[in-house]
Structure 1
Amino acid sequence: MGWVTEVAAVPKTAPQAHTVMISAGHSDTDPGAVARGVTEAEIVLEFRDLLSQALARQGIRHLTDGDAGDNLPLREAVKIAAGADIAIEFHCNAATPAATGTETLSRRSAYPLAGRLCEVTAAVLGIASRGTKPEDAGQHHRLAFVSDGGGIIHELFFLTNAGDLQQYMLHREVLADRLARVIAEHARDDKR
């Protein structure tokens, strides 16, 4: 775990006003959903690392729940999240093969950012936005990232839906770049 930044590509914008932490849900010991030959843990770890690189290109200093290609157990991620102003943990939903879309779980105070994450993810992947929901509304509510860490859980898509997975695989770099822009905007907004 450490601060990640990249000085060479820092755009000239407002200074960062809020601390940022991003987390990959699940791990080697808890792979999460398994479907279509991949695990939720593999998907979200790769995405966290792509997003970390994109945030660095935006000039946003941020914490991760482990070094590139690795993540810490949830109990450690929750501790890191609790110390950040903006904390987002990534997951994939799983249900019937027809279930589709993206959603977030968070406290009401995080709904503005959570809603933007849903809007951008839905637009980039061409899937439905299921919207912002309270932390007890989804299958990952027991993870304590929201209740103990004060963060946002972002369900990127349904791993059990072939179309959702395909859209993610085709557009994951673009998604990381667009979400990094949204997070950077919130991190630089000193009125929040």
Structure 2
Amino acid sequence: MFITITAGHSNTDPGAVNGSDREADIAQDMRNIVTSILRTDYGLEVKTDGEGKGNMPLREAVKLIKGSLLAVEFHTNAAAKKEATGIEALSIPKNKAACQRICAAVADATGWKLRGEGGFKPDNAGQHSRLAYAQAGGIVFEPFFISNDTDLALFKATKWGICRAIADAIAMELGAAKV
């Protein structure tokens, strides 16, 4: 069995932007780091939507989920209010515990607050309306607000530690042990 790790947005959609930092680039970095840790430290088989700075559009990434033990797509949140902060993962209810475990791991590593129910939000919460990735069985994970300068700076300074916390939580969710 395998897990799926993807990066939100694609080479043609930057997602949210703060200065020169683009959500698509940050999502690709998180995907690459978490995938590397899961493969190297846990020996897990991981499918991704690309490597380096490339990734598939959503319509293709969603197809990777079928047969996965767990699927996570990375995003960052954004808000008009620069002080908005917090961690959330959107999915259908069957992934609630996994969402909460991953969100709690990042909160422990950063001190960022959890949004929703311990980080979990249903995929139709707020401005969302039935996210295709979540409806296919995946988790849409938003560990911080790119629009919050302080959160963005902390992510950039500690992204390897944050990604390690995410990878460890995913492995724990699957019952995987370090190799």
Common topology (TM > 0.5): yes
1:31-180 residue pairs with structure 2 within 5 A?
31-57=14-40, 58-95=42-79, 96-130=81-115, 131-139=119-127, 141=129, 143-147=131-135, 149-180=136-167
RMSD between aligned residues: 1.5
Unaligned runs of 5+ in 2: none
| 8 Å contact kept, 1:20–1:187 | no
Pair 177,183 (structure 1): closer, same or farther in 2 beyond 3 Å: same
* In 1, Cα distance between equivalents of 2:16 and 2:130: 15
The TM-score, its normalising length taken from structure 1, stands at: 0.84
| 8 Å contact kept, 2:88–2:121 | yes
1:188 counterpart letter in structure 2: G
SS in 2 for 1:49: helix
The percent identity for this pair of structures is 40
Q: CA deviation at 1:142?
A: 5.4
The TM-score, its normalising length taken from structure 2, stands at: 0.89
* In 1, Cα distance between equivalents of 2:94 and 2:72: 14
1:23-38 residue pairs with structure 2 within 5 A?
23-38=6-21
Partner of 1:5 in structure 2? Answer: none
SS in 2 for 1:93: coil
2:151 counterpart letter in structure 1: D
Pair 60,139 (structure 1): closer, same or farther in 2 beyond 3 Å: farther
Range with greater deviation from structure 2 (37-46 or 176-185)? 176-185
2:146 counterpart letter in structure 1: L
* In 2, Cα distance between equivalents of 1:183 and 1:140: 24
1:186 counterpart letter in structure 2: E
